[in-house]
């Protein structure tokens, strides 16, 4: 799991163990959690290859060898966004037929339900971080139990807890359509208590039904105060009011710099920002 936040105090840094070196000049920090020792080593190796070593970089990545479920939200008060990619059945991976071997029997059903219980727990833990504004929950599963059912239950239980604790409406969690995937046609399913509108916020991929990718599921949770009212299905805006993405790269857009499969894209073809908006990067974390 990954969390994005600003650099925190030296006192809090001293409390943490098994973490990579931080960049003192970085404005934002990504904490990447992995509890498996073997996978943590791979994570560190990949970060060394992919993350710029320049001290001028504004983003630092700090691998954390630990269980995200045991992390203390109070220690990450500056974190603004969380990406969850928990363990799942992998049923959407089309080039691994062995993953489907036991899906029709009781053992497969119990495994999927056990995974769904874990996924719900980790999503609710992410929702408990006090200053987090956005959560992405994703799986490479095609099962409703691991996707829409987890999303629906998390929203329902959060709403009940928020009502009991008197949480203000603006701080409650809701679904939003990822603007960068605004033009992706395959959407979620209105099952497990979700409305059609909520299902339209969810993104699905199906490699066995025409999508040129593995099966995948993506959901975006945001605080209600961040959902814009003027854009399609609730465009997410930053604290400065600038949309994260304005649809510049929509399929078929003559101003797009995406030439499609086999085409060439150049900087000269980049689309201008939406009218009345200055083009800038979204504020991913507290500066």
Can you tell me the distance from the alpha carbon of 160 to that of 177, in angstroms, rounded to the nearest whole number?
23
Set 88, 140, 201, 205: catalytic member: 140
Q: How many CB atoms lie within 10 A of CB 221?
A: 24
Can you tell me the distance from the alpha carbon of 30 to that of 19, in angstroms, rounded to the nearest whole number?
12
> Cβ neighbours of residue 36 under 8 Å, at least 6 residues apart?
none
In degrees, rounded to 5, the angle at the alpha carbon of residue 237 between the alpha carbons of residues 235 and 242 is: 120
Where do runs of H (alpha helix) occur along the chain?
A: 10-15, 37-50, 106-127, 148-165, 196-201
Closest CA relative to residue 150, chosen from 178, 127, 184: 127
Can you tell me the distance from the alpha carbon of 59 to that of 50, in angstroms, rounded to the nearest whole number?
12
201 catalytically annotated: no
Q: How far is CA 61 from the centre of its chain?
A: 16
Q: Are residues 239 and 283 in contact, defined by beta-carbon separation less than 8 angstroms? A: yes
Q: What residues act catalytically?
A: 140
């Amino acid at each position: 799991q990954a969390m994005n936040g600003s650099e925190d105090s030296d006192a809090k840094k001293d409390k943490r163990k098994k973490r990579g070196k931080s960049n003192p000049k970085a404005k934002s920090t990504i904490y990447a959690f992995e509890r498996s020792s073997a996978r943590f080593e791979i994570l560190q190796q990949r970060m060394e290859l992919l993350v710029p070593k320049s001290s001028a970089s504004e983003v630092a990545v700090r691998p954390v060898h630990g269980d995200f479920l045991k992390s203390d939200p109070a220690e990450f008060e500056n974190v603004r966004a969380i990406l969850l990619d928990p363990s799942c059945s992998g049923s959407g991976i089309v080039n691994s037929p062995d993953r489907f071997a036991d899906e029709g029997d009781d053992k497969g059903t119990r495994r999927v339900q056990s995974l769904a219980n874990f996924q719900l727990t980790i999503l609710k833990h992410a929702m408990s971080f006090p200053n987090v504004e956005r959560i992405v929950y994703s799986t490479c599963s095609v099962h409703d139990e691991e996707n829409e059912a987890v999303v629906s239950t998390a929203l329902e239980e959060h709403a009940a807890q928020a009502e009991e604790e008197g949480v203000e409406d603006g701080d409650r969690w809701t679904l939003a359509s990822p603007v960068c995937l605004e033009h992706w046609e395959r959407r979620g399913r209105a099952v497990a208590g979700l409305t059609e509108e909520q299902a339209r916020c969810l993104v699905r991929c199906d490699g066995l039904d025409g999508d040129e990718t593995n099966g995948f599921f993506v959901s975006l949770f945001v605080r209600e105060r961040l959902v814009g009212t003027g854009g399609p299905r609730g465009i997410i805006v930053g604290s400065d009011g600038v949309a994260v993405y304005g649809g510049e790269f929509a399929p078929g857009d003559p101003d797009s710099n995406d030439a499609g499969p086999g085409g060439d894209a150049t900087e000269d073809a980049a689309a201008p920002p939406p009218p009345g908006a200055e083009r800038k990067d979204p504020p991913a974390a507290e500066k």
